[in-house]
A and B are shown apart, each in its own frame.
Chain A
């Protein structure tokens, strides 16, 4: 069974940092591109970042470029999102999602990041 489990969310002050993790199991993690997608409270879905299976290709949404860094460790079946210079508008549930045929076919349960003083 495919499972994605996020962790690392919490309350952080504006300007602070947080590192999210996503532990993958039930599939060959190293064969799939992965993504982070977020959802602000009561709002829609926003794609945040993409990383290819080998980490050779990485993309970011303009809203997080220069502040967030996506990475992965295929030996540990884990995906990460380092978030720096956090702003109130980064408050959201962050999901890791597997990419298959251009669609996000498996999602984690999400981890809430709250940026507030």
Chain B
């Protein structure tokens, strides 16, 4: 099974800051990597698919990059509504697996 390791597990940043989250796969997954946002009490929302493609309707301040085993998720200018937990997810092989999540808070 493929293990996904996200870092950091939590992050505190100010409005307007650039925020970066990393996700490392335990083996090469090409670009089969998605990123989700989950707000408290809500279902996750797909933000980025295939490592770098923005889902329709998602603000352009969100971006993703990487391939192979190392991936990065970036918010270029943090907004108050971005407070949430973010997860990466691989779909190169079943079982699909998620990172443990990064909880983002406003400083």
- A-side residues, CB < 8 A to B, are 35, 44-47, 50, 59, 61-62, 95, 101-105, 107-110
Contacts and interface: CB of A to CB of B under 8 A. Distances in A.
A65 B38 CA distance: 27
A105 B46 contact: yes
A107 B45 CA distance: 8
A44 B95 contact: no
A101 B96 contact: no
B98 A47 contact: yes
Contacts of B55: 103, 105
Interface in B67-101: 87, 89, 91, 94-101
Interface of B: 32, 34, 36, 38, 43-46, 49-50, 55, 87, 89, 91, 94-101
Given A102-B32, A102-B49, A102-B91, A107 B44 contact: yes
B2 to A, nearest CB: 11
Given A95-B44, A105-B46, 11 more contacts: A44-B98, A44-B99, A44-B100, A45-B101, A47-B98, A50-B96, A101-B49, A101-B50, A102-B49, A103-B91, A110-B43
A108 B42 CA distance: 9
A61 B43 CA distance: 20
A47 B32 CA distance: 16
10 contacts: A45-B98, A47-B95, A47-B98, A62-B95, A102-B32, A103-B55, A104-B36, A104-B46, A104-B89, A110-B43
A20 B66 CA distance: 37
B87 to A, nearest CB: 6
Contact of B43 (A44, A47, A108): A108
